Amino acid sequence: MLSLNVVGAGKLGRTLAALWHASGVFEIAGLFNRSAENAREARDFIGAGTAVSDLSKLPPAQVWLLAVPDDQIASTATALPPIIAQHPPQAGRPPILFHCSGALPASVLAASGADLLASAHPVHSFADPKRSLTDLPGSTVALEGSEEAINVLEPAFTALSCNCIHLGSSQKVLYHTGSVMACNYLTVLMDLSLQVFQAAGIDNKSAMALLEPIVLQTVKNNFALGPAKALTGPLVRGDVATVARQTGALRQLAESTDTSGAGSEATSGIQAATLATMYRALGKAALPLAEKAGLSQDARRQLQSIFDES
């Protein structure tokens, strides 16, 4: 069994190490966190490994996961050459180094001096490591980098019931942006929607209750039918007057916020100008979809001019 060091045993690092330990994929060697308490917590969560808070105290390992925040990956790799050099290659294998950033290529690890570099991005939210232990299986992992490193990582993720895909380094930024648009921005859209309900005098709890079934149904429809067929509402129907009333209401909300001086942003959490801008921008983006769903050219032109108004 290959040994694994985890540099940055945070949410993702400790989850993957715990799953690999439980499934006998890797022998967990060292767990590094700057805080000794965090390192011990990670070790207790995983149930294996030596917790260290000094990089130079990491034991030898054949595979190294750098699971520090994205902006710290390159600088952490810079600190590794003397640490890796103090251990001879195990079983004649040069060490494999990988990180799990969605946006960065394997080459950000180049300063480590190691040759076998990879990135492996699980398309999963590790918000709560305990939940991720059961929820990760079935997720996709995007692999990129050295073939020799991927030949070790692909079976390691497959053993966790993940599906692997392969990317080139030039694809990574846009690939990750696509995932941010659908996952992170869906959450932002939810928040913007709640702000509009708040402006209408509907409290958060009631708004969440009315949104839950329709949002879940919309997500399901998107996967079952694709976005063009899942789109419903005034845009697809060509209800131009309704859309004009909605953009007008948001414009008024933004103007009343501006003239009040105090600004509702600070007092009520409503970002009125952002709501007006976002409604128009998303409306414009929806027009090609609505057209595919049967919106007439004439209605499209009228809607376009509503969204173009400042």
Ligand X SMILES: NC(=O)c1ccc[n+]([C@@H]2O[C@H](COP(=O)([O-])OP(=O)(O)OC[C@H]3O[C@@H](n4cnc5c(N)ncnc54)[C@H](OP(=O)(O)O)[C@@H]3O)[C@@H](O)[C@H]2O)c1
Q: Contact residues for ligand X (CB under 6 A)?
A: 8-13, 33-35, 38, 67-70, 72, 76, 99-102, 121-122, 124-126
Q: Please say which residue, 55 or 208, places its beta carbon nearer to ligand X.
A: 55
Q: Please say which residue, 180 or 210, places its beta carbon nearer to ligand X.
A: 180
Q: Please say which residue, 99 or 251, places its beta carbon nearer to ligand X.
A: 99
Mention every residue, 6+ apart, whose C-beta is less than 8 A from residue 218: 230
Mention every residue, 6+ apart, whose C-beta is less than 8 A from residue 104: 70, 73, 119, 172
| Matching residue, tokens 């750098």 | 66
Question: Quick check: 64 and 95 in contact, CB under 8 A?
Answer: yes
Q: Please say which residue, 124 or 280, places its beta carbon nearer to ligand X.
A: 124
- What token pair was written down for 143? 């692999």
Compute the distance between CA of residue 77 and CA of residue 66 in angstroms, rounded to an integer: 8
Smallest distance, Å, CB 102 to ligand X?
Answer: 6
- What token pair was written down for 214? 């329709």
Name residue 29's amino acid: A
| Matching residue, tokens 């001096």 | 113
- Nearest residue to ligand X by CB is 10
Q: Please say which residue, 35 or 310, places its beta carbon nearer to ligand X.
A: 35
Smallest distance, Å, CB 215 to ligand X?
Answer: 21
Smallest distance, Å, CB 38 to ligand X?
Answer: 4
Q: Please say which residue, 63 or 250, places its beta carbon nearer to ligand X.
A: 63
At residue 139, the 3 state secondary structure works out as coil
Q: CA distances (Å), 44 to each of 17, 41, 56, 108, 178, in order?
A: 11, 5, 21, 30, 35
Smallest distance, Å, CB 164 to ligand X?
Answer: 14
Smallest distance, Å, CB 217 to ligand X?
Answer: 26
Q: Please say which residue, 70 or 265, places its beta carbon nearer to ligand X.
A: 70
Smallest distance, Å, CB 119 to ligand X?
Answer: 9
Question: Quick check: 37 and 62 in contact, CB under 8 A?
Answer: no
Smallest distance, Å, CB 141 to ligand X?
Answer: 9
| Matching residue, tokens 């939940």 | 131
At residue 179, the 3 state secondary structure works out as helix
